[in-house]
C-alpha cells in the first residue's frame, strides 16, 4: 500500500482502535466481492464499535474525500456494497451487533445493525418472542441492518410481507455525521414504538441500500411465538392453478411462509440421495415438532416419502402454517386444502425441514461446486401470467446456448403478502470460484469439486441476467436488493426522481454513502 494510504489506515486506527481496522490485501479483496462479482479493493475495512465511532468514521471520510460502502453479512448478489472507487472504506458491522433492549410489554426489540437474524431469534426465543419479519434464509450470516437496507423476504413474509413492514424505527448516521432516529423516538415522544408519528421517515430509509445513510440500530416489532406449526405441500402441473392457489392463500394470510419451485430442477438439485444428510434433517424435523408422538409421526411420514414426490409434477408448492393453538392450526390447514382442491397433496418434507433449521450454514454455490446467480422480479398477481409466458419463450429460445455451456436455470417462487409473487430464476454454471465463494463455503462442503475458469459461460449468464432484468421491467416488476443491478433512480417519474435526489443531497451532500447504488 502506498505510504499516504498507510497513513490513512493508521489515522483510522487511531480513531476507532487497531481492532477496528483491517488492511491486509486478502481481506480487502474478500470484502470487495459478493456472490456475483468483484469490485475495487478498498483502502481499509473499518469496524466501528459504537454509534459514536460511526459518526467519527463519517467525519473522517468527509475530511479525506473517501466513500463508505456499508457491508452487513455480504450475502446479497447485486453488487450492492462493491466499491466503485479505490478511495473507499468498506464498513463492517461485526463489532456493532449487540441487542440493546427487549421490551416484551411494549412489543419491540432494539438491535444493532450487525446482529444476524439467527442471533436475534436465539435471544428472543427463550422469552417466547420473535420479530414479525424474522429473517431471510441467509439469516445465519445476513445482518438485520443489511437485510433492512437491502429489502428482504422469507420468514414471516406470508403474513407481514417485506422486511420493512416489521420495523418501527432506525438509528441512522447520515453522510453529514448527524444521528437520526426515524420513529417516534426521534421526537419529544421519546419511545421508538410508533412508526406512524407523522410522515413515515422509517419507510424512507428502509430498503435504501445504504444510499441515504448508515444504519447503526433498528427497532423491530415483536410478537409471541406461535403455539403450533405445521407444513403442507402440493404438486401441480399447471402454472396458472399454482398461482391461483398461492394468491388465495396469500390474500387470506393463511400461511407464514409460502415457497414454490420448478420440480424439474428440484429433481436435478436433489441429486442422489444422501442418507446421512437425510437422517440429520429428519432428526431436526423430529426435534422441531416438540413432542415425541408428533415427532415420530412426522419423521415416519417424511422418511417414507423420501424424494419420490419429485418424480411426479411440474411444480411443487410448500406452506408453513402456524396457529395460536391446535384448532387455529387445523382450521388454516383445512382452508388451504379446500383451496388446493385441484392439486395433489405431497409429503410436507420441505416446509418441515425449512422450519426445523431456519438458518442453516448455507453455501453460496451449488453444493457440487458450480457458481450460482439468482435474480428476481416481484409481480402483482395480474402481471404474473404475462411475464411467465414471455420468460418461457425466452428460455426456449436460449435453450441451445445454455445447454452448450452447461448452464442450468432453476425457477423458485415466494409469496410476499400484500404485494404479489416473487419470481426467481437461478442460474448455475461450471466456473472457478472467487475468494468470496471459497471463504463462504461451509466446512460441511469442504471437499466440494472445483471447476476451471469459464469466462464464456459466465459471459452468457451475465448477458442472460441483463436480458431478464429488461424483460422483468417490461412486465412492471419491482425488486428487493436493487443494488447496482436493477433500474431504479433513472426509472422514476420526473417529480419523484427530483425528490429522491433532493433527499440524497440533504442527507449525503458529499455523496459518500455507497455512491452509485440505486443509480444515485
Name the residues that contact ligand FAD, by CB under 6 A.
Answer: 35, 70-76, 80-81, 93, 113, 136-138, 142-143, 145-147, 149-150, 152-154, 209-210, 214-215, 362, 364, 480-481, 483, 514, 517
Sequence-ordered list of residues with C-beta below 8 angstroms from that of 433, at least 6 positions apart, any chain:
365, 369, 371, 441, 450
**Cβ nearer to ligand FAD, comparing 339 with 429:** 429
CB of 298 to ligand FAD, least distance (A): 23
**Cβ nearer to ligand FAD, comparing 195 with 371:** 371
**Cβ nearer to ligand FAD, comparing 137 with 313:** 137
CB of 139 to ligand FAD, least distance (A): 8
In terms of residues, how long is the chain?
Answer: 520
CB of 87 to ligand FAD, least distance (A): 17
- Distance of alpha carbon 255 from alpha carbon 88, whole angstroms: 44
Neighbours of 17 (CB within 10 A): 14
**Cβ nearer to ligand FAD, comparing 23 with 152:** 152
Strand, helix or coil at 217?
Answer: strand
Task: Give the up-direction half-sphere exposure of residue 189: CA atoms within 13 A in the CB hemisphere.
Answer: 16
CB of 254 to ligand FAD, least distance (A): 20
Neighbours of 377 (CB within 10 A): 25
Cell match 428460455: residue?
395
Cell match 441451445: residue?
400
Q: Per the structure block, which three cell numbers stand in for 357?
A: 433449521
CB of 396 to ligand FAD, least distance (A): 28
Strand, helix or coil at 213?
Answer: coil
**Cβ nearer to ligand FAD, comparing 57 with 209:** 209
β-sheet bridge partners, residue 180: 172
Cell match 445493525: residue?
113
In the bound state, the residue with its beta carbon closest to ligand FAD is 146
CB of 97 to ligand FAD, least distance (A): 10
**Cβ nearer to ligand FAD, comparing 258 with 299:** 258
Whole-angstrom CA distances from 206 to 150, 172, 214, 349, 426 are 8, 11, 11, 34, 26
CB of 25 to ligand FAD, least distance (A): 21
CB of 318 to ligand FAD, least distance (A): 13
Q: Per the structure block, which three cell numbers stand in for 178?
A: 448527524
**Cβ nearer to ligand FAD, comparing 193 with 483:** 483
- Distance of alpha carbon 35 from alpha carbon 433, whole angstroms: 10
**Cβ nearer to ligand FAD, comparing 30 with 93:** 93
Whole-angstrom CA distances from 192 to 160, 219, 303, 316, 390 are 19, 7, 47, 41, 46
Amino acid at each position: 500500500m502506498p505510504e499516504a494510504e498507510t497513513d490513512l489506515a493508521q489515522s483510522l486506527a487511531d480513531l476507532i482502535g487497531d481492532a477496528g481496522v483491517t488492511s491486509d490485501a486478502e481481506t480487502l479483496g474478500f470484502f470487495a466481492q459478493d456472490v456475483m462479482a468483484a469490485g475495487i479493493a478498498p483502502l481499509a475495512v473499518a469496524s466501528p464499535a459504537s454509534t459514536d465511532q460511526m459518526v467519527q468514521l463519517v467525519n473522517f471520510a468527509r475530511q479525506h474525500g473517501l466513500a463508505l460502502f456499508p457491508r452487513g453479512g455480504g450475502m446479497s448478489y447485486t453488487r450492492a456494497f462493491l466499491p466503485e472507487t479505490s478511495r473507499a472504506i468498506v464498513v463492517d458491522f461485526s463489532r456493532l451487533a449487540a441487542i440493546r433492549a427487549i421490551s416484551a410489554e411494549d412489543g419491540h426489540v432494539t438491535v444493532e445493525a450487525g446482529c444476524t437474524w439467527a442471533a436475534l431469534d436465539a435471544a428472543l426465543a427463550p422469552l417466547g418472542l420473535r420479530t414479525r419479519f424474522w429473517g431471510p434464509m441467509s439469516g445465519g450470516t445476513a445482518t438485520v441492518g443489511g437485510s433492512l437496507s437491502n429489502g428482504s423476504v422469507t420468514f414471516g413474509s406470508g403474513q407481514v410481507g417485506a422486511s420493512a413492514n416489521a420495523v418501527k424505527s432506525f438509528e441512522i448516521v447520515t453522510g453529514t455525521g448527524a444521528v437520526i432516529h426515524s420513529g417516534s423516538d426521534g421526537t419529544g415522544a421519546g419511545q421508538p414504538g410508533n412508526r406512524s408519528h407523522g410522515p413515515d421517515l422509517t419507510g424512507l430509509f428502509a430498503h435504501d441500500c445504504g444510499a441515504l445513510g448508515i444504519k447503526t440500530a433498528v427497532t423491530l416489532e415483536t410478537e409471541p411465538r406461535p403455539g403450533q406449526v405445521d407444513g403442507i405441500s402440493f404438486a401441480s402441473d399447471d402454472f396458472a392453478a399454482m398461482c391461483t392457489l398461492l394468491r388465495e392463500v396469500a390474500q387470506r394470510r393463511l400461511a407464514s411462509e409460502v415457497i414454490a419451485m420448478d420440480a424439474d430442477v428440484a429433481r436435478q438439485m436433489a441429486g442422489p440421495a444422501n442418507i446421512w444428510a437425510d437422517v440429520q434433517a429428519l432428526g431436526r424435523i423430529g426435534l422441531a415438532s416438540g413432542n415425541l408422538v408428533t415427532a415420530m409421526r412426522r419423521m415416519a411420514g417424511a422418511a417414507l416419502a423420501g424424494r419420490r414426490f419429485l418424480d411426479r409434477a411440474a411444480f411443487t408448492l410448500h406452506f408453513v402454517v402456524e396457529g395460536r393453538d391446535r384448532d387455529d392450526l387445523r382450521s388454516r390447514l383445512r382452508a388451504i386444502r379446500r383451496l388446493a382442491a385441484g392439486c395433489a397433496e405431497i409429503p410436507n418434507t420441505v416446509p418441515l425441514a425449512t422450519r426445523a433449521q431456519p438458518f442453516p450454514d448455507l453455501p453460496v454455490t451449488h453444493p457440487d461446486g458450480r457458481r450460482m446467480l439468482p435474480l428476481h422480479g416481484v409481480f402483482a398477481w395480474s402481471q404474473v401470467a404475462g411475464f411467465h409466458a414471455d420468460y418461457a419463450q425466452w428460455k426456449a429460445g436460449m435453450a441451445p446456448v445454455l445447454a452448450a455451456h452447461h448452464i442450468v436455470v432453476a425457477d423458485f417462487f415466494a409469496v410476499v403478502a400484500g404485494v404479489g409473487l416473487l419470481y426467481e430464476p437461478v442460474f448455475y454454471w461450471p466456473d472457478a470460484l472467487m475468494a468470496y465463494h471459497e471463504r463462504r463455503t461451509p466446512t460441511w462442503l469442504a471437499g466440494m469439486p472445483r471447476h476451471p475458469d469459464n469466462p464464456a459461460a459466465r459471459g452468457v449468464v451475465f448477458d442472460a441476467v441483463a436480458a431478464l432484468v429488461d424483460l422483468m421491467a417490461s412486465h412492471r416488476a419491482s425488486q428487493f436488493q436493487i443494488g447496482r443491478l436493477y433500474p431504479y433512480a433513472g426509472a422514476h417519474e420526473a417529480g419523484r426522481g427530483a425528490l429522491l435526489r433532493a433527499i440524497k443531497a440533504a442527507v449525503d451532500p458529499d455523496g459518500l454513502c455507497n455512491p452509485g447504488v440505486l443509480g444515485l
